[in-house]
Amino acid sequence: MKYTLILILWLISGAIVDSMALQLYQPVKVQKIDSSGVLICKGLVMDAESGLRLALASISVEGTKMATVTNSEGEFLLKIPETYRTARLLVSFLGYQKTYFPVSVFLDGISRLELKVMPVPLPEVNVVFKDAESLMKTVLEKRGDNYVNTPTLMTAFYRETIRKRKTYVVLLESVVDVLKMPYTSVRRDVASLYKVRKNTDYAKLDTVVFKLMGGPYNTLFSDLMKTPEDMFTEKIFENYTFSFDRSTRIDDRLVYVLNFKQRSSVPDPLYYGKLYIDSETLALVSAVYDINLADPEKVSGLFIRKKPLNAKVTVTKARYQVNYLVRDNQWYLGYSRAELGVEINWKRRLFHTNYESVMEMAVTDWTSDVPENWNRSGSRLRTNVVVSDAVTGFLDPDFWGLSNVIEPDKSIESAIRKITRKLEQHK
């Protein structure tokens, strides 16, 4: 069984006791920034019934391209011109009803935005499939028909961040060429860096250097339909149970929802989450899943490559998301994301340190006409690459132009829009 995210930690000189308390979420409202004419909208998106915070919910200003997404705690920040004081914010999340909130409501201090589950009844899936397992078997059987079956060249935007508490210490954005192999092929996808920019401040990393191996491969290997055996293994139904959840709609297409989790009799840490299956083609269109953290020691052993001897490192979160898009009745990888949370407890120290890393990739273009010189940089990435250390030669200030500030709180779609013209010029 393969686990995609690998972490390197090693000790550097100095021993700094970090006593900074965790920043707590505070109720917020829209605020005006002095004379700049900008409103700052902060808030928290929640499930109206359970109060569960909704990570990666989309927030946009109605009728504009201004948008962002919530972080892993369901929080968001969106800056808008004061001229949009009378506008509405559209909040959406997979499986929930899209809801509009007037910007003016924020002025009264209301910042907790509640979404209701989309009321879509379970259709005749129970008639066609006697149980959830039979539906999952069909999804796997139809993989060769539903997904791209020829080599495909993709251009993708990849972003990698490492955050210590609320402070970003590593920010990296890049344009990546991906040679996507057919979904029925055993050959692995290949990635190559084209353009990169980064901002690192290792001084803020306290007594360890926190690095991530794999780069874009962490997101490529999250493609469940390319290598389903990597996550589910060949003993999929011996290791997991599947059950039906409420159906929903994605882009006006009816979607079945399957819950899955590892069986209690399985000792090794596996996964749990939700699978979203198109009712017409029976293709997996989205998946959101986490690794089971019931055995912290085993989980940490899967991810940690090296660590200081005087520290206990615990993985607190390993979460994945993958979305597919359809074109000409075939599905292909559109977006993937991997999140890793780590807690470091030092011996003879009162306080511990928390880090959170996010790796996400969005495909911006694709073609089945793969040229021989598809690798524009001439250098393929190894699967064990540390991208932040391998960017020499790929930095190009002229390519990024005026967009020279990495904004990690903005959605990846927002970042892509800033470089679309440059991508067109460099084709």
Residue 22 domain-assigned (yes or no): no
Q: Which residue has the higher pLDDT, 105 or 337?
A: 337
Mean pLDDT confidence for 80-101: 86
- Whether residues 159 and 49 fall in one domain: no
Q: Would you say residue 404 has pLDDT above 60?
A: no
- Whether residues 170 and 273 fall in one domain: yes
Q: Would you say residue 299 has pLDDT above 50?
A: yes
- Whether residues 65 and 135 fall in one domain: no
Domain final position from 110, 134, 167 = 110
- Residue type, position 65, single letter: K
As a whole number of angstroms, the distance between CA 64 and CA 80 comes to: 10
Residue 136 CA neighbour count, 13 Å, CB half: 20
Residue 1 domain-assigned (yes or no): no
Residue 172 domain-assigned (yes or no): yes
Residue 408 domain-assigned (yes or no): yes
- pLDDT on residue 35: 46
- Whether residues 229 and 361 fall in one domain: yes
- Whether residues 88 and 214 fall in one domain: no
- pLDDT on residue 373: 77
Q: Which residue has the higher pLDDT, 391 or 122?
A: 391
- Whether residues 99 and 235 fall in one domain: no
> Are the CB atoms for 73 and 53 separated by under 8 Å?
yes
- Whether residues 90 and 129 fall in one domain: no
Condensed to tens digits (0 to 9), the pLDDT of residues 359-392 reads: 888 888 888 888 877 877 777 888 888 887 776 6
- pLDDT on residue 5: 47
Mean pLDDT confidence for 104-110: 67
CATH number for the domain including 66?
2.60.40.1120
Residue 266 domain-assigned (yes or no): yes
Across 84-100, b (16+ Cβ under 10 Å) vs e yields: beebbbbbebbbbeebe
Residue 115 domain-assigned (yes or no): no
- Spatial strand order of the sheet with 6-11 comes to 208-213, 6-11, 304-306
Most confident range (mean pLDDT) of 75-89, 137-151, 394-408 is 137-151
Structure tokens at 48: 């109206």
Q: Would you say residue 201 has pLDDT above 80?
A: no
- pLDDT on residue 263: 94
**How many distinct structural domains can be found in the chain?**
2
As a whole number of angstroms, the distance between CA 21 and CA 30 comes to: 26
Query: In angstroms, how far is the first alpha carbon of the chain from the final one?
Result: 38
Q: Would you say residue 8 has pLDDT above 50?
A: no
- Whether residues 95 and 165 fall in one domain: no
| pLDDT > 90: percent of the chain | 21
Residue 321 domain-assigned (yes or no): yes
Condensed to tens digits (0 to 9), the pLDDT of residues 228-275 reads: 888 887 789 999 999 988 888 887 788 889 999 999 999 999 999 999
Q: Would you say residue 226 has pLDDT above 60?
A: yes
| pLDDT > 70: percent of the chain | 77
Mean pLDDT confidence for 201-218: 71
In this prediction, residue 413 has a pLDDT band, given cuts at 50, 70 and 90, of low
- Residue type, position 412, single letter: I
Residue 24 domain-assigned (yes or no): no
Domain final position from 83, 110, 137 = 110
- Whether residues 211 and 319 fall in one domain: yes
Tell me which of 2-11, 300-309, 391-400 is least confident: 2-11
In this prediction, residue 31 has a pLDDT band, given cuts at 50, 70 and 90, of very low
Average pLDDT, rounded, for the chain: 78
- Whether residues 223 and 267 fall in one domain: yes
- Whether residues 106 and 145 fall in one domain: no
Tell me which of 124-133, 297-306, 366-375 is least confident: 124-133
Mean pLDDT confidence for 340-362: 84
Q: Which residue has the higher pLDDT, 372 or 90?
A: 90
As a whole number of angstroms, the distance between CA 124 and CA 247 comes to: 11
- Whether residues 166 and 58 fall in one domain: no
Q: Would you say residue 21 has pLDDT above 80?
A: no
Partners of 167 in the beta sheet?
164
Q: Which domain holds residue 278?
A: 6-16+121-425
Q: Would you say residue 424 has pLDDT above 60?
A: no
Domain final position from 110, 139, 166 = 110
Tell me which of 20-24, 117-121, 307-311 is least confident: 20-24
Going by their DSSP bridges, the two strands 253-262 and 271-278 should be labelled as antiparallel
